[in-house]
Chain A
Amino acid sequence: MRTFRISIIGFGAVGQGVARSILSKKEYLNKQGIDLQVMGISDSKGCEINENGIDIEAALLRKKQKGSVAFGDAKIDIIRDVEHDIVVEVTPTNINNGEPGLGNMRAALGSGKHVVTSNKGPLALYFSELKELAEDNGLFFRYEATVGGAVPIFNLVHEALAGNTVLGIEGILNGTCNYILTRMSDERMPYDLVLKEAQELGFAETDPTYDVEGIDSAIKLVIIANSVFSQAATYKDVDVTGINKITPEALELANKNDYVVKLVCEARDGKLKVAPRLVPKRHPLAVGGTLNVASILTDLAGRITISGKGAGSIETASSILSDILYIVRNSKS
C-alpha cells in the first residue's frame, strides 16, 4: 500500500466534494494499493490538523453544524509546516490578484508539495510562473478542475491526444449562460426573467456579472490558451461579449433557421474570443441546459468533442481526484 498525504485548502462546496469523494472511494483506492490520508483541512475561519489522518466524516459534520472545519484554535501554516505530499488548493477564485490561492500555490510548490487545484484566478494571472515553479522543483501542477468542471479537457489534450497538434478549440464553458440561453429559447422568456429564475434555482449568483458578461468564460479560455497553446495570454487578450443583450426574438429567429445561440469560447489562430454565436442545431457544440462542451480540432485525430457537467461539488471533485491519482501514479516516491 502506498500512502499519499494531502491537505485540502478551502472547504467550500468543492473542498467538501473532494473530502466526500476520498471517503466514498476509500475501498476503490485501497484495491489499487493507494491510501489517501488527509493531514490538514482549512477554511476561512480555521483548520484541523491530524498527523494520523483526519476523520473526514467528522470534519464534514462539523462544517455542516458549525459552519467551519476549525478544530480547537490551531494557528498553524498547513501548507508549509505539516508534512504531506499534495496540496489541494480549492479556495474561491479571485480574478483581481489571485489571492489567497496564488500565495497558497507558491507556498506549496516552494516547499516541495504537488498542487492540484480548481482555482481559476492564479492560473489566469500567473500560469507560466506557477508552471515553471513546479517544473523547477520537480513537482506536479494539475488544474483539470479549473475549466469545464467534470469534463477532462486538459487530460484529453495532453494525454489521450498526445502527438496531435491542436489547431483550435471551441467550447461552452459556463453552465449559467448555457442554462439562461437554453431556457430563453425553449420557453420564449425574456433575459431578465430567466436570470431571476436561474438565481432562485442557484444556477446564477446574486451578482451575475461575472457569468453573463462572459468574464468567467474568458478566464477559462485564457487557461486553455496558456495550457494548450503555451500562449502566455491574460484576460486582456480576450475579445469578450456577454449574453445580456440577447432577446427571445433573436433566439426564435435562430431557431426558425435551424440554429441555436450559445456563448462560445474560441481559441484559434492565436486569437481568443468569447461571444454569442450561431451554432447549427445538429452540431456537437449545441448542448443544452447547464452542460459544458469542448470541441478540439487536431491535425491527426480530426475533431474530438466532449461534453458533461461543468459545475457541482462532486463533479468538480471528480476532476480533482483524477489529478491526485495522476500524481500518485506518476510520482517516484
Chain B
Amino acid sequence: MIVSMTLELKDIPGQLVLALSPISEFHGNIMSVIHQHDEKTPRGTIPVQIRFEIEPRILNGLIEQLEKSGVKVARVGEERLRSTVSVILIGHIVHSDMGDTIDKIDSTGFAEVVDMSLSMPAIDKTSSAYLVINAVGEKELGMALDIMRDVANKKDILMIEPIHMNSVGA
C-alpha cells in the first residue's frame, strides 16, 4: 500500500534522519519527502510530509517505533486511488444529469470523479466538461471508463478519451 504521513519534528538537528531511518528499517520504500523548515506548526514543530510504499501489516509497528523515538505522527492516510484518467465530454451535459453519472462512478467504491471543470457558452449551445477519474488500479479505471462510455452513449454525449500507447515503449 501507499501511505502518506505527516510527521512533526522538533526544531533541533538530526530529527529528519530520526524520522526516516525507521521507515527504511521496516522496508518501506520512500517515494517523496517534503520538508519545509520555515513552516512551523503552532506547537513550534516542523511538519514533514512523507509518501512511501509499505506492507500493510507492518504499518502499526512503524508508527509505534516513530512515536517511541520522539517523532510525532500527526496524520496517516492510505493513498487508495493510484490510477488516473482524464476525459472530455461534449453535449447537453447539465441537462443530462451529470450528478447522477458522477454518483454512479463514486458509488463503485473503487473509483471517484476527483475533478471536473465545465464550460457552458450559451443556453442553446452544447457544453463541454473536463473530468478526472481516479481508481485503485488500472483494471478498475477501465471499469469506471466503461460506465462513462455507457452513459455517454445513452445520453448522446461525445466522450474524448486519452490515447492508449501513452507510456508503453515511449
- Chain A residues within 8 Å of B, Cβ to Cβ: 167-168, 170, 241, 245-247, 249-250, 252-254, 256-257, 259, 261, 264, 266, 268, 275-280, 283-285, 295, 297-298, 302-303
Contacts and interface: CB of A to CB of B under 8 A. Distances in A.
Given A280-B166, A283-B166, A303-B170, A250 B161 contact: no
Nearest to A250: B128
21 contacts: A245-B90, A246-B158, A246-B160, A249-B121, A250-B119, A253-B119, A253-B129, A253-B130, A254-B130, A254-B160, A257-B86, A257-B130, A261-B160, A264-B163, A266-B164, A275-B160, A275-B161, A277-B162, A278-B163, A280-B166, A295-B165
B54 interface: no
B123 interface: no
Interface in B67-126: 86-88, 90-91, 117, 119, 121, 125-126
Nearest to B119: A249
Interface of B: 86-88, 90-91, 117, 119, 121, 125-130, 158, 160-166, 168-170
A256 B91 CA distance: 19
Contacts of B128: 247, 249-250, 253
A283 B169 CA distance: 12
B39 to A, nearest CB: 29
A184 to B, nearest CB: 12
A115 B117 CA distance: 53
Nearest to A305: B170
A137 to B, nearest CB: 38
Contact of B160 (A168, A252, A276): A276
Q: Is the interface of A mostly helix, strand, loop or mixed?
A: strand
Contacts of B127: 247, 249
Nearest to A278: B162
B119 A252 contact: yes
Contact of A268 (B86, B125, B165): B165
Given A245-B90, A278-B87, A278-B88, A250 B165 contact: no
Contact of A250 (B86, B160, B163, B169): B160
A259 B90 CA distance: 16
A245 B165 contact: no
B90 to A, nearest CB: 5
Given A250-B88, A254-B88, A297-B169, A245 B126 contact: yes
Nearest to A298: B169
B170 A247 contact: no
Contacts of A245: 90-91, 126, 158
Given A247-B121, A247-B125, A264-B163, 17 more contacts: A168-B165, A241-B158, A245-B90, A246-B158, A246-B160, A249-B121, A250-B160, A253-B88, A253-B128, A254-B160, A261-B88, A277-B160, A278-B88, A280-B162, A280-B166, A297-B168, A297-B169
